[in-house]
Structure 1
Amino acid sequence: MTQTASSEFARSTAVERQSDHSFSAELDAGWKVAGAINGGYLLGIVGRALRSLGPKTPDPLVISTFYLGPSADGPADISIRTLREGRSTASYSVDLSQNGAPTIAAMATMGNLGELPDDVATTATPPQLPTPEECIDAAEASEKFHKAAPIIDRFDMRLDPATAGFAVGKPSGRGLLQGWIRLVDGTDPDPLSLLTFLDAFPPVMFDLGRFNWAPTMELTAHLRALPAPGWISAKISTRNIAGGMFEEDCELWDSAGRLVAQSRQLARQPRG
């Protein structure tokens, strides 16, 4: 199934143009985590607004986002300033605000993923995973978890049993999570849903036995290619915890075995 205007993700990330460089959006409560709107979902909305500027540069190539405060469900305003427009890419600054207060400040470069060269030279390898059917379905989480993180109902998410020990009180301590993800209605991935997938899994700190949700300070997303239809496999890891903060690296691979998106975020250690 391809992305359509009637898909849940398309509806939830819809924006309405207010002027040449300003948009409004309605943030959906179904994308909350621990009482706040998820940062990956907000990236999807920012990407949707940027894509709406025009057809020349339809895809986010890189977005670096600072989270200035929590976003709530309800109306939001998006303002965009053009920094540079070239022949194949364009760069912008983006602010998302609610009730006059900014909650996101971002910089983005847009381009056309479908026009990039198809050469690949990488030492990166996809995560080695059991089939989705052999993995743990996140939908089987407790009622308490669903209530705290209704966002998990937006995805079909399957966790690799080898990295999901935290769910039964036995985290591996490696700082690694792996699994599969797709939109719950079966809509095939596109560049905007990849942005959301980059911040969709539980915090990697869960695998270190440090629970509760971890607020993101900054997240940089790189999109590398248009994703093939089907499941996306994910690898999330951390290597350094210091000063009350940790980094979280995420790789997303499509069904054709191609690395289609990467991110690094700096987050505060889980509270509580």
Structure 2
Amino acid sequence: MLAYLYPISLAAVSALVMALEHFFPWRKGQKQLRPRLGSDFLHLVFNAHFLGVLLAGLADRFLLPHVDGLLASQGWTDAVYRNAAADWPIWLQIVVALVVLDFVQWCVHNLLHRVPFLWEFHKAHHSIVDGEMDWIVSFRFSWLEVMVYKAILYLPMVFFGFAWEALMFHAIFGTLIGHLNHANLDWGYGPWRYVLNSPKMHIWHHDYDGDEKTTVNFGIIFSMWDWIFRTAKMPADPPKRLGFEGVEEFPPNFFAQEIWPLQRLIPPLKAH
């Protein structure tokens, strides 16, 4: 049953947010059945389940034995695999996991915009254009971007040794907030906007006229990091246009989007 908990939760969260969009749309003329919806569904299925299973299996088989061997040879095993939270009550593990892992994700998101080759990984997500900002695009990501996040998040997860319940809560709650952030909903959360990310805030992260290297609103679950570090922007109205300069040349379908970073970074592939 545990293996099905996240897929079941994903389906429930997706159905909920899709219904909210249907009954309370912010942009009245935006259609729920739109072009590229099938491609985004493939991103949802692949990135939400199959990619994670694949990466975990490959890391466990080929990478982690070498990492663990290196740590042991340097005497760092106990420092890295500290399991600092192992004896904490589960509610405290959930709170700390939400805050710590979200801050790490906020930092990674910054890097995806500021480091040129990482920006190539992240472009797939910013290929969202007018008429496409809805719940399902929250999973429009390149597999290389997912690898970056998972590799960096591994360290705090093993340092704290969070229980599976805490990690599962983080995954499900993060999925809910991610769906809502991209949803066609006129929600800003009032005074809670200084704590939680929202549709009215996150849409400005996708502003076409923004600077891709110094953009705003990097928050995933929490907006507080952006308010603390002065990267927050939340006007009352949505931006005039979504995307980035050159988005018209970005491939429109799942398979082409997945190989895009490799084509940009490996010269022989650019011709194909």
TM-score normalised by L of structure 1: 0.27
Please identify which structure carries the higher strand content: 1
Q: Whose relative contact order is higher, 1 or 2, with alpha carbons under 8 Å and at least 6 apart?
A: 2
